[in-house]
Structure 1
Amino acid sequence: MSGNTATPALELRSASKSFGRVAALLGASLSAHRGQVLGIVGDNGAGKSTMLKILSGIYSLDSGSLLIDGRGVVFNSPKDARDAGIATVQQDLALVEVLDVATNMALGSLPRKGLFVDRAAMNQQARQVLDDIKATVGSVTMPVGLLSGGQRQIIAIARAVRLNADIVLLDEPTAALGVRETAHVGEIIDELKRQNKAVVCISHDMEFVFEHSDVIAVMRLGRVVATRPASGTPREEVIGLITGAIAGEVPAEIEGAA
């Protein structure tokens, strides 16, 4: 397991979040380190999406704490998360199909020359980021609508990397992709790890999670019930933790309140 340091790049401690009477998170804790990929798995309703939205500043915590490099932070908006060095690639990608690759990557921070967009700089920046993560996408002036699903996923990841974020959150990055495109996205994630970024990947694709994660966190019913090294942990054990066939480790304060 590479890249592990004493202080996590991102840490969530005893996080709870409810919507009315529905508890989405119950004292959930996890940590992500630079130079590692943390895979988060769990069944539908386990709390994965709520966890991601808290980490990306969409939701605020009811209780618990969020730390970046050991320092407590409070996010009131996605901008707060971005300013803290977190880039999020949502499952819907949020790409504009009629715009080209370079423009999609620069949305929100278009380089300008006077009053006009500096097209040459924007194209050069886009190509540089794609080269840095070893992404094989053709022309940066091609409309995103002409790209394959896998290429669009890579553009969304590249847009996050362009923000120069140290922490990258990925929500189901291989959903609806074929075998070859899934492998390509996996290569990009491996490259982010080599660049010493902390990568958090939520996925239902168990094979992908085991192949590209260093650590796997299992969520069930709003709790992180187990954290396991990807290497050496039987897949059957993780599946058992997801389904509840294996109990996992519930924090004492939560167990006592149950």
Structure 2
Amino acid sequence: MESAVAPAASSVREPVLSLKGVSKGFGAVRALTDIDLDIHAGEVVAIVGDNGAGKSTLVKILAGVHPQDSGTITFDGQVVSIPTPTASRALGIATVFQDLALCDNLDVVSNLFLGREITHGTLDEEEMEQRAWSLLRQLSAKIPSVRIAVASLSGGQRQTVAIARSLIGEPSVVILDEPTAALGVAQTAEVLNLIERLRERGLGVLIISHNMADVQAVADRVVVLRLGRNNGDFHVADVSYEEIISAITGATDNVVTRRASAHAVAAAADAHGTAPDVAAPAPGRADVTEPVPDNATGADNPDDGSKEIR
């Protein structure tokens, strides 16, 4: 009995990053309302939702661009505040925005260590190059040379450089905003493989994406935002594509689903013998309770109803 209980107890993990009741407004506009989100080490969580669902606002709160109005953010079990991007990076959260923020005229090494150059009186180019190759090999990155200008790289390779740069500070959580947007099939596969490498390194990964195929290919959980609120938290292995889309669009609560629910309730009541005594007329039949009109105006026939109807 003890051995059976132990694995269940050990399977409960504390999230490395947790949001509880986080809300954010811009004037009269409520961008986020009571958002809950947990990210565990070694887990890929996808945030999905329609335009205006609050995805970008959530990312900016975690990146230190916007402070939340209410709610708590917990990192490694401690309640924290993220007032600036510097505080976010120092905490252990690395964010790669969709524009990547790379310097096209600089080579890969210079981009990786931009603002974090290794110096020993002067720039230590050799050590930075060695560390760049080591990091890229750990990520199985396909970069022809670390001395090539970033402007010469493909979209997938540029995304790789941006993600590799985010790992220089040894973060615990990496946030990727639309990492496969505008990429071809081969480049998308390269980025998805890179996300797998991040998970294998034990990092918590949060990706924002509109591509359901990419989400189902790489994510462990899918968190749906709709109109600034939580509208679903699914394990990818247990949910279908249609269920995710329904949560995104709100199709789980509409006239059709409410009618189907009402029919199900009526059928259950009928099965238990509690159906109403007066049933609705069968389709295609109706009981005539009023005189049949005699003309196109709908006036009733003034005689005794013996007039022949043609």
Same fold, TM-score > 0.5, yes or no? yes
* TM-score after normalising by structure 1: 0.93
1:4 Cα deviation (Å)? 6.8
Q: Which residue of 1 aligns with 2:128?
A: 122
Name which of 146, 150, 157 aligns with 1:144. 150
Tell me the CA shift for residue 43 of structure 1: 0.3
Are positions 1:132 and 2:138 aligned together? yes
Shift >3 Å, 4+ stretches: none
Counterpart selection for 1:10 from 11, 17, 21? 17
Verify: 1:184 aligned to 2:190, yes or no: yes
- Which of residues 51, 54, 59 is equivalent to 2:58? 51
- Partners of 2:198 and 2:142 in 1: CA distance: 15
State the secondary structure of the residue aligned to 1:40: strand
Q: Give the counterpart letter for 2:169 in structure 1.
A: L
RMSD, matched Cα: 1.2
The answer to whether the 8 Å contact 1:25/1:47 transfers is yes
**1:250 aligned partner:** none
Q: Which residue of 1 aligns with 2:68?
A: 61
Structure richer in strand, relative to its length: 1
CA distance in 1, matches of 2:157, 2:142: 8
Match of 1:27 in 2: 34
SS at structure 2 position matched to 1:60 = coil
DSSP 3-state at the match of 1:8 = coil
Asked whether 1:160 is paired with 2:180, we answer no
Can you list the C-alpha shifts for 1:25-52, whole angstroms capped at 9, x where unaligned? 0111111000110001000000000000
Corresponding residue for 2:214? 208
Counterparts of 1:4 and 1:164, CA distance in 2: 25
Distance 1:135 1:246 in 2: 41
Match of 1:254 in 2: none
> Which residue of structure 1 aligns with residue 90 of structure 2?
83
Counting only pairs closer than 5 Å after superposition, residues 170-249 of structure 1 correspond to structure 2 as: 170-247=176-253
Quote the offset at 1:5 in angstroms.
Answer: 4.9
Per-residue deviation, 1:6: 2.0
- Consecutive unaligned residues in structure 2, runs of 5 or more: 1-9, 254-310
* Deviation, structure 1 residue 163: 1.7
Q: Distance in 1 between matches of 2:65 and 2:11?
A: 28
1:168-222: CA deviation from partner (whole Å, max 9, x where unpaired): 0000000000000000000000011011100000000110001100000000000
Instruction: Supply the distance in 1 between the matched residues of 2:227 and 2:77 (Cα, whole angstroms).
Output: 27
Q: Aligned AA for 1:144?
A: V
Query: Take 2:184 and 2:86, find their aligned partners in 1: how far apart are those partners?
Result: 33
Deviation, structure 1 residue 225 = 1.2
Counterpart-to-counterpart distance in 2, 1:90 and 1:18: 21
Q: Percent identity?
A: 45
**Secondary structure, aligned partner of 2:65:** coil
The TM-score normalised by the length of structure 2 is 0.77
Distance 1:173 1:156 in 2: 10
Provide the secondary structure at the position in 2 that maps to 1:23.
strand
What is the Cα deviation at residue 122 of structure 1?
1.1
| Higher Cα radius of gyration | 2
Unaligned runs of 5+ in 1: 248-258
CA distance in 2, matches of 1:12, 1:47: 14
Residues of 2 paired with 1:153 and 1:8: CA distance? 27
Please give the alpha-carbon distance, in whole angstroms, between the structure 2 residues aligned to 1:5 and 1:158: 30
Given residue 24 of structure 1, which amino acid in structure 2 is its aligned partner? A
Please give the per-residue CA displacement for 1:80-109, whole angstroms capped at 9, x wherever unaligned: 010111111000000000000011010110
How many residue pairs end up in the alignment? 244
Give the C-alpha shift of residue 125 in structure 1.
1.2
- Partner secondary structure for residue 231 of structure 1: helix
SS of 1:162's equivalent?
coil
